[in-house]
Amino acid sequence: MFTPKYPTPDTAPAAPVVRTPDAIHPPAAAPVPVTPAPAPAAAPTRPTIQLTPAAVVTVAVGGTTVVLVVGAVLVSMLLAVAITGASVAICAVVLRSLLNQSGRR
pLDDT at 83: 97
Percent of the chain with pLDDT over 70: 71
- Is the alpha carbon torsion for 66, 72, 77, 82 positive or negative? positive
Nearest CA among 28, 34, 38 for reference residue 15: 34
Percent of the chain with pLDDT over 90: 42
Each domain of the chain, given as residue ranges in start order, spans 73-105
Q: Does 57 score more than 80 pLDDT?
A: yes
For 32, the 3-state DSSP assignment is coil
Q: How would residue 4 be classed by pLDDT, with cut points 50, 70 and 90? A: confident
Whether the CB-CB separation of 24 and 7 falls below 8 Å is answered with: no
Q: What is the pTM of this model?
A: 0.44
Query: 7-50, pLDDT tens digit by residue?
Result: 777 776 777 767 666 656 555 566 667 777 777 766 667 777 78
**CA pair distance 48, 43, nearest whole angstrom:** 12
Q: How would residue 61 be classed by pLDDT, with cut points 50, 70 and 90? A: very high
Q: How many angstroms separate the first and last alpha carbons of the chain?
A: 70
